Structure 1
Amino acid sequence: MSNQILTEIHVDLDNRDKNTALFRVFLAFPVLIFLSSFSEFADNLPGVIGGFLVLPVVLSLLFRNVYPSYVLAFNKALLELSNRINAYLLLLTDEYPSIEANQKVRLIYPEIEGGKKLSPWMPLVKWFLAIPLFLLGLIYAIYALALTLVAWITVISQGHYPEEKAEEVIKVIAYWNRLYGYALLLITDEYPSFSLN
Structure 2
Amino acid sequence: MSNQIETSFQVQLDNRDRATAFARVVIAFPVFMFVSSFSIETFFSDNPMQTYGLLILPVILALLFRGVYPSYVLTFNKALFGLVNRVWAYIALLTDEYPSIEESGVVRITYPEVDGGKTLSRGLPLVKWFLAIPLYIVGIVYSIYGFIMLLLAWFNILFTGSMPQTCADIIVRVSQYWNRIYGYAIILVTDEYPSFSL
State the TM-score, normalizing by the size of structure 2. Answer: 0.95
Q: Which structure 2 segments of 5+ residues have no match?
A: none
* 1:1-197 equivalence runs, <5 A: 1-40=1-40, 46=47, 48=49, 49-196=51-198
Name the SS of the counterpart of 1:15 in structure 2. Answer: coil
The answer (yes or no) to whether the contact 1:42–1:52 under 8 Å persists in 2 is no
Question: How much is the aligned-residue C-alpha RMSD, in angstroms?
Answer: 1.5
Determine the C-alpha separation between the residues in 1 that align with 2:5 and 2:57: 20
The answer (yes or no) to whether the contact 1:41–1:53 under 8 Å persists in 2 is no
Deviation of the 1:145 alpha carbon? 1.0
Distance 1:146 1:180, change over 3 A: same
Name the SS of the counterpart of 1:7 in structure 2. Answer: strand
Deviation of the 1:79 alpha carbon? 1.0
Runs of 4+ aligned residues of structure 1 deviating over 4 Å after TM superposition are 41-45
Q: Which structure 1 segments of 5+ residues have no match?
A: none
Which has the higher mean CA deviation after the structures are superposed, 102-111 or 38-47?
A: 38-47
The answer (yes or no) to whether the contact 2:36–2:42 under 8 Å persists in 1 is no
The answer (yes or no) to whether the contact 2:4–2:192 under 8 Å persists in 1 is yes
Distance 1:195 1:104, change over 3 A: same
Name the SS of the counterpart of 1:137 in structure 2. Answer: helix
Distance 1:44 1:68, change over 3 A: farther
The answer (yes or no) to whether the contact 1:39–1:47 under 8 Å persists in 2 is no
Deviation of the 1:40 alpha carbon? 2.2
State the TM-score, normalizing by the size of structure 1. Answer: 0.96
Aligned residues: 196
Identity of aligned residues (%): 57
Name the SS of the counterpart of 2:40 in structure 1. Answer: helix
